[in-house]
Amino acid sequence: MSGHSHWAGIKYKKALVDAKKGKIFSKIGRRITLAARTNGGDPDNNLELRYAMDDARAANMPKDNVERAIKKGTGELGDSTYEPVVYEGYGPAGVAIMAEALTDNRNRTAGEIRKIFERNNGNLGESRCVAWMFERKGIVSIKAEGTTEDDIMVAVLDAGAENIEKAGDFYEITSEVADIQNVKAALEGAGYAVESAQPRNVPKNFVELDADRVRKVLKLIDALDDQEDVQTVSSNFSIPDDVMAALAEEAGN
């Protein structure tokens, strides 16, 4: 199991908990606003908006919040100033990290991201310093309970799916970005409830870590994920099965 994919499952569950405090609503709201500003407020003609609205539904974001975010993007509620920025760097053990953010103040966000890296044994790098280690893919997530990889394969075989992987309590189906909606529709047509469907940065190769280094990397990723402007965090670390088992036992105690 790849550390990246397993972390995605953990991160998604964490996001649902954060929704109770409103943090995830704010992050998704920014995505909705930027998508609407860029390509209009109709999700049928705006894939990025559709992805963001799907995540809003999965997080139980109130409909009024979604509509308000769309109106901010289309200019009905004033001008939106959010812009996308990608921060790249290295974490403990030299793992590559990419943090995608939406910010209304580049200088403030860059300073905060730099401090997070420095405080957690990492280094913020220059643009494109690690991007070459990743590729953009579509990731569709469904709950693992009550299904198997073989069942999912039957549902998505002809929809453009490239890989199916167990990630904690979820299955993640990887595809080309252009095939996200095809995979999502195929799963829904087979009776599955899609938890998340969006593009992500997926590592081409992985760095295998021991338990101590995994803890340090996850501490950095947690800190980045908690920064208000950061939308997604991707890394290329891998957790061996024995380390995964030890960490799971540790977390249960």
Tell whether 115 and 226 lie within a shared domain: yes
Helices 180-189, 47-58: inter-axial angle, 10-degree rounding: 40
Q: What is the per-residue pLDDT for 203? A: 93
Q: What per-residue confidence (pLDDT) applies to 21?
A: 53
The larger pLDDT score, comparing residue 24 to residue 142, is at 142
pLDDT band at 11 (very low <50, low <70, confident <90, very high): low
Residues 145 and 102 in one domain: no
The answer, yes or no, to whether residue 183 has pLDDT greater than 90, is: yes
Q: Is the pTM of this model over 0.75?
A: yes
Residues 7 and 61 in one domain: yes
Residue 167 Ramachandran class (φ > 0 left, ψ -120 to 50 alpha, else beta): beta
Tell me the residue range of the domain where 171 lies: 134-203
pLDDT of residue 12: 47
Q: Strand order of the sheet with strand 161-167?
A: 161-167, 170-175, 134-143, 194-203
Question: Tokens at residue 237, please?
Answer: 């670390």
Q: Are residue 119 and residue 241 in the same domain, yes or no?
A: yes
- Kindly state whether residues 115 and 235 are assigned to the same domain: yes
Q: Which CATH number characterizes residue 7's domain?
A: 1.10.10.200
- Determine the pLDDT at residue 14: 53
> Would you place residue 79 in the very low, low, confident or very high pLDDT band (cuts 50, 70, 90)?
confident
Element (H, E) at 99: strand 96-103
| Amino acid in position 197 | A
* Cα–Cα distance measured from residue 89 to residue 221, given in angstroms and rounded to the nearest whole number: 12
Q: Do 145 and 196 belong to one domain? A: yes
| One domain, residues 209 and 156 | no
SS3 at position 73 = helix
User: Of the candidates 211, 219, 220, which has an alpha carbon nearest to the alpha carbon of residue 249?
Assistant: 211
Provide the domain count of the chain: 3
Q: Give the sign of the dihedral formed by CA 237, CA 240, CA 242, CA 244.
A: positive
Looking at the structure, tell me whether residues 165 and 246 fall in a common domain: no
| Same domain for 228 and 166 | no
Single residue among 49, 74, 99 that ends a domain in this structure: 74
Mean pLDDT calculated for residue range 145-163? 94
